[in-house]
Amino acid sequence: MRTLSLSPPVLGVLLALALAASGLGLVWSTHEVRAGYARLQVLELQRWQLQEEYTRLLLELNTWAAPHRISQIASDKLFMLPPALSLSRVIEQ
């Protein structure tokens, strides 16, 4: 089995290249983490805003669908009246 022997200057250059590559990898990964965290912050803000809008819309929907409001619109705009008691029947099981 043969071993590869390198002269000290070649070994120094190879180690310097490996160190530079490692440093660039560290810089790149740090940048990616920071960019990902910034994107996470933006998405969390959007989620919070959407949740707030959903809550507001749900409240508005419940206001529009309130029973007293439906009855008021039915009688005022559609001229609907409750049925007379004589027309109502109770069905027993």
Convert the pLDDT of each residue in 39-77 to its tens digit: 999 999 999 999 999 999 999 999 999 999 999 999 999
Number of domains in the chain: 1
- Structural domain range at position 76: 8-82
| Rounded-to-integer distance, Cα 70 and Cα 75, Å | 9
Question: Which residues are CB-neighbours of 75 under 8 A, at least 6 positions away?
Answer: 81
**pTM: predicted TM-score of the whole model, two decimal places:** 0.58
Note whether residue 2 is domain-resident: no
> Looking at 3-48, which runs of residues are DSSP E strands?
none
Note whether residue 89 is domain-resident: no
Note whether residue 30 is domain-resident: yes
Note whether residue 1 is domain-resident: no
Which residue type occupies 51? Q
41 within 8 A of 48, measured Cβ to Cβ = no
In what helix (H) or strand (E) does residue 45 lie, and over which residues does it extend?
Answer: helix 8-64
Q: In the prediction, which pLDDT does 82 show?
A: 87
Note whether residue 77 is domain-resident: yes
